[in-house]
């Protein structure tokens, strides 16, 4: 018999769509992907070169479970420089992607029966990770502009609350949480004594005057109950390399090291050497990428809000927009009704040959997630196609 873990979790909607798009492309169908949660541009050459050099130098053996010292030191320098956070290399655990880092963090502070607050819309994996340790995910909707609803969060807190998982800039909404709101959240966490797991993987992808703010930097009390998650996938375009990290108070960091020691051990050794170079020289490259994402976001946003029936928040971060498409529910063509965001995505995939993701998978049932991780030309073409398909629906 299958385990309760398997019976309790749902497969990742984002990974399912990736398979669908890959299959369609393999069949020669001209589908445009607005689904991928990864930059379309390749990893910068200097990072690949550092990896090749590390292999040539024989950096192919097991290393310390929590990562090579050089990388953990470089991560500490980054956290100080960018986030005003003081960590010692002993508080860092380098993992196989930020995904493993979040999973380690959840395992380190959540017991069976504990509740974990997750503001929604939310990334598809948080709830499943909580369920996998026997915890109970408690989703709390965000406000209309996708900022945290701190009053609703406070109401959701009870004796069983072990942690909150926040993600800023946010996947899937693109929202960048303000310092003011994060300060209020920290007060609630301190008062009620629960942990904050803060996933900051999109930190570098912000397109306005807004600044990324790390909740751990608020005070010693906030720092003492916060686990910071970050990684290399989005900022350095290293999605396939699988390298991310946690920074945490020493006791939690030790727990995370034990968990990882019994699961995957160290993140790939030669990749860690490349990650050191990424932190050392990656900033110019990030700026160029951010300018391009901003151009795409502004373009898609301007096209979306002109479409009858669509409303959209003009958010500032990550590479996602989350338009509300519920005006199209109960409409349809050829006898097919659109009942929900899944039907809407299927319609757009079949009719426009554009892949977008159903908001329902992220607990945003009235929305879809559009990732602008495709070239500007493909984005123009994709928006033309979506617009044509929706004009047809609007005529029904």
Ligand X SMILES: Cc1ncc(COP(=O)(O)O)c(C=O)c1O
Residues near ligand X, by CB under 6 A? 37, 97-99, 123, 167, 171, 199, 201, 231, 233, 239, 244
H or E segment to which residue 158 belongs: none
- What minimum distance in Å lies between the beta carbon of 376 and ligand X? 22
- What minimum distance in Å lies between the beta carbon of 384 and ligand X? 27
- What minimum distance in Å lies between the beta carbon of 173 and ligand X? 11
Q: Which is nearer to ligand X, 104 or 171 (CB)?
A: 171
- What minimum distance in Å lies between the beta carbon of 240 and ligand X? 9
Written as six digits, the tokens of 366 are: 């009235």
Q: Which is nearer to ligand X, 234 or 303 (CB)?
A: 234
Q: What are phi and psi of 264, to 5 degrees?
A: -115, -10
**What whole-number distance in Å separates Cα of residue 390 and Cα of residue 327?**
11
List the one residue out of 106, 266, 121 whose CA is nearest residue 196. Answer: 106
List the one residue out of 117, 118, 112 whose CA is nearest residue 131. Answer: 112
Pairing of strands 115-120, 226-231: unpaired
Q: Which is nearer to ligand X, 121 or 385 (CB)?
A: 121
**Could you tell me if 367 and 324 are in contact, meaning their C-beta atoms sit under 8 angstroms apart?**
yes
Q: What SS3 state is found at 368?
A: strand
Please identify the residue of the shown chain whose CB is closest to the bound ligand X: 97
Q: Which is nearer to ligand X, 119 or 393 (CB)?
A: 119
- What minimum distance in Å lies between the beta carbon of 13 and ligand X? 12
Q: Which is nearer to ligand X, 37 or 67 (CB)?
A: 37
Q: Which is nearer to ligand X, 85 or 98 (CB)?
A: 98
- 149: buried, middle or exposed (CB in 10 Å: 19+, 13-18, 0-12)? middle
- What minimum distance in Å lies between the beta carbon of 170 and ligand X? 7
Would you put residue 384 in left (φ > 0), alpha (ψ -120 to 50) or beta?
Answer: alpha
């Amino acid at each position: 018999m299958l385990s309760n873990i398997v019976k309790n979790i749902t497969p990742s909607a984002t990974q399912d769509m990736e398979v669908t798009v890959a299959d369609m492309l393999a069949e020669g169908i001209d589908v445009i992907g607005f689904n991928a949660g990864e930059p379309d541009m390749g990893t910068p050459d200097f990072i690949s070169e550092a990896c090749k050099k590390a292999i040539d130098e024989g950096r192919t053996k097991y290393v310390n479970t929590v990562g090579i010292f050089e990388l953990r030191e470089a991560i500490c320098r980054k956290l100080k420089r960018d986030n005003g956070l003081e960590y010692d290399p002993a508080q860092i655990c380098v993992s196989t992607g930020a995904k493993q880092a979040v999973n380690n963090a959840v395992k380190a502070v959540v017991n069976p029966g504990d509740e974990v607050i997750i503001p929604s819309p939310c990334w598809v994996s948080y709830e499943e990770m909580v369920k996998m340790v026997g915890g109970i995910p408690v989703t709390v909707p965000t406000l209309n502009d996708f900022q945290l609803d701190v009053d609703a969060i406070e109401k959701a807190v009870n004796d069983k609350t072990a942690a909150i998982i926040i993600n800023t800039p946010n996947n899937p909404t693109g929202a960048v949480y303000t310092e003011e709101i994060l300060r209020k959240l920290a007060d609630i966490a301190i008062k009620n004594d629960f942990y904050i797991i803060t996933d900051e993987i999109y930190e570098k992808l912000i397109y306005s005057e807004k600044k990324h703010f790390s909740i751990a930097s608020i005070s010693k009390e906030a720092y003492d109950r916060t686990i910071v998650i970050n990684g290399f996938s989005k900022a350095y375009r290293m999605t396939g390399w699988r390298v991310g990290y946690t920074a945490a108070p020493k006791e939690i960091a030790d727990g995370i090291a034990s968990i990882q020691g019994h699961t995957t051990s160290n993140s790939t050794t030669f990749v860690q050497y490349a990650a050191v170079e990424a932190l050392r020289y990656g900033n110019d490259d990030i700026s160029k990428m951010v300018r391009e994402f901003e151009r795409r976001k502004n373009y898609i946003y301007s096209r979306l809000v002109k479409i009858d029936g669509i409303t959209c928040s003009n958010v500032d971060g990550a590479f996602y927009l989350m338009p509300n498409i519920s005006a199209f529910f109960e409409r349809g063509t050829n006898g097919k009704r659109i009942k929900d965001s899944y039907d809407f995505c299927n319609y757009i995939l079949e009719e426009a040959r554009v892949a977008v993701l159903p908001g329902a998978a992220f607990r945003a049932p009235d929305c879809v997630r559009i990732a602008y991780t495709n070239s500007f030309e493909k984005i123009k073409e994709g928006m033309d196609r979506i617009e044509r398909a929706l004009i047809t629906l609007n005529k029904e």
